[in-house]
């Protein structure tokens, strides 16, 4: 299907029969994919916000911890977007993957900035956060808000997002949300792989929590073994809230790994719109796995920084990861400067299209 194609039920004039058939095919493919594949016991496994596990019953551990994450997927029958679309099947996977990452950030915020959430508080935090991403125009990070704000960042309503415009859109929505009555972290998009230390420190000194969204290319054409090791190491960092990544034609939310197999939640499943407490649908999902070297090189990394101490730990862990590379994947600099790594960021990388718009 072409990039941003709004056929088969995503425009107002499409027939219910066509929409239903389209949904059925997507959901069949989703159900046929392997899920909850067995993991190796007594081998390190990592999940963001949880940490490392090494012992027996690793598969059961991963299954239980995966339920902590809020799962967002394609939805249909929501109030029409600006272009008349009432479903986001085929074009909304990047949006839904971004919602899953930012939901992690908000759960961490309401957990006092701590990565680990106690079992007895998990459901409470899920319920507190989940409606920020519901499929209604008033939701600050819902499909309507993201699609509308995305137009300002070069993405027509109903079209597929790339990592950079999605990151910029989420940052803008965060500013709007916090300027009204919202509570949450400040979301910053980091351009050119360079985190401006002064900007982050100023926010932390003002007692604000910071989410860093860093869209970038991990190599050119494919992920090399060297880059793969760095990406996996980043998923092990205390500050990591996951990665928006995936295959060339589909965005996924990456949230952990064992060996070179990355755990992910797959948004390519269409449910009825989440518009009320009675219509949440499925907000948990099965763990799936993909080899890190099979992922597309275009990704967006997410980090949660709650304090100056967190930022110092992030710098140390990032420096350790960068030490494996000739050029740093992500840098922390005192002031903004221009650096070229001779890598062109292709935000169309996840899209089925073969040329840029």
pLDDT band at 10 (very low <50, low <70, confident <90, very high): very low
Report the distance separating Cα 293 and Cα 227, nearest Å: 9
Tens of pLDDT, residues 175-223: 999 999 899 999 999 989 999 999 999 999 999 999 999 999 998 889 9
pLDDT band at 29 (very low <50, low <70, confident <90, very high): confident
Answer whether residue 13 shows pLDDT above 70: no
Give yes or no for a contact between 244 and 94, defined as CB atoms under 8 angstroms apart.
Answer: yes
pLDDT band at 348 (very low <50, low <70, confident <90, very high): very low
Continuous segment of H or E residues that includes residue 211 = strand 210-217
Answer whether residue 248 shows pLDDT above 90: no
Report the distance separating Cα 27 and Cα 270, nearest Å: 6
Answer whether residue 36 shows pLDDT above 60: yes
pLDDT band at 23 (very low <50, low <70, confident <90, very high): confident
Q: Which residue has the higher pLDDT, 64 or 352?
A: 64
Structure tokens at 66: 């995966």
Report the distance separating Cα 226 and Cα 240, nearest Å: 19
CA torsion angle 300 301 307 308 (round to 10)? -100
pLDDT band at 335 (very low <50, low <70, confident <90, very high): confident
Structure tokens at 149: 């704000």
Residue 261's nearest CA partner among 41, 30, 46, 51 is: 46
CA 239 to chain centre: 14
CA torsion angle 296 300 301 303 (round to 10)? -160
Tens of pLDDT, residues 82-122: 999 999 999 999 999 999 999 999 999 999 999 999 999 99
The CA-based angle 277-143-252, given to 5 degrees, is: 100
pTM: 0.90
**Predicted local confidence at residue 350, as pLDDT:** 41
What is the residue-averaged pLDDT of the chain? 90
Give yes or no for a contact between 203 and 186, defined as CB atoms under 8 angstroms apart.
Answer: yes
pLDDT band at 338 (very low <50, low <70, confident <90, very high): low
pLDDT band at 20 (very low <50, low <70, confident <90, very high): confident
Report the distance separating Cα 302 and Cα 299, nearest Å: 10
**Predicted local confidence at residue 16, as pLDDT:** 54
**Predicted local confidence at residue 24, as pLDDT:** 84
Answer whether residue 249 shows pLDDT above 60: yes
Please give the share of the chain, as a percent, with pLDDT higher than 90. 81
| Sign of the alpha-carbon dihedral angle for 304, 307, 313, 315 | positive
**Which active-site residues does the annotation give?**
93, 266, 268
Answer whether residue 11 shows pLDDT above 50: no
Report the distance separating Cα 296 and Cα 357, nearest Å: 19
**Predicted local confidence at residue 110, as pLDDT:** 98
**Predicted local confidence at residue 63, as pLDDT:** 97
């Amino acid at each position: 299907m072409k990039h941003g194609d709004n056929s088969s039920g995503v425009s107002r004039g499409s027939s219910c029969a066509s929409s239903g058939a389209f949904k059925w095919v997507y959901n069949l493919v989703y159900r046929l994919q392997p899920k909850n594949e067995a993991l190796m016991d007594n081998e390190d496994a990592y999940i963001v916000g949880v940490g490392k596990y090494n012992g027996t019953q690793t598969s059961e551990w991963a299954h239980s911890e995966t339920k902590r994450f809020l799962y967002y997927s394609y939805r249909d029958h929501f109030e029409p977007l600006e272009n008349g679309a009432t479903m986001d099947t085929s074009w909304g996977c990047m949006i839904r993957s971004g919602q899953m990452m930012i939901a992690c950030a908000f759960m961490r915020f309401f957990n006092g900035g701590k990565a680990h959430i106690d079992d007895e508080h998990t459901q409470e935090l899920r319920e507190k956060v989940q409606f920020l991403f519901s499929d209604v125009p008033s939701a600050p990070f819902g499909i309507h808000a993201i699609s509308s704000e995305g137009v300002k960042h070069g993405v027509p309503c109903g079209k597929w997002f790339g990592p950079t415009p999605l990151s910029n859109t989420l940052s803008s929505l965060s500013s709007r949300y916090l300027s009204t009555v919202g509570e949450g972290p400040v979301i910053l998009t980091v351009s050119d792989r360079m985190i401006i230390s002064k900007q982050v420190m100023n926010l932390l000194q003002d007692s604000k929590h910071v989410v860093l969204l860093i869209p970038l290319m991990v190599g050119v054409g494919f992920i090399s073994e060297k880059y793969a090791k760095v990406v996996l190491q980043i998923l092990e960092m205390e500050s990591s809230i996951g990665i928006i990544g995936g295959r060339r034609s589909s965005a996924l939310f990456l949230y952990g790994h064992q060996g070179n197999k990355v755990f992910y939640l797959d948004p390519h499943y269409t449910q009825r719109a989440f518009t009320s407490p009675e219509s949440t649908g499925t907000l948990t999902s099965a763990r799936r796995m993909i080899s890190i070297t099979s992922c597309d090189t275009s990704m967006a990394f997410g980090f949660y920084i709650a304090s100056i101490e967190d930022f110092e730990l992030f710098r140390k862990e990032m420096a350790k990861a960068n030490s494996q590379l000739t050029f740093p994947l992500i840098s922390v600099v005192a002031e903004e400067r221009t650096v070229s790594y001779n890598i062109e960021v292709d935000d169309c990388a996840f899209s089925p299209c073969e040329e840029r718009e």
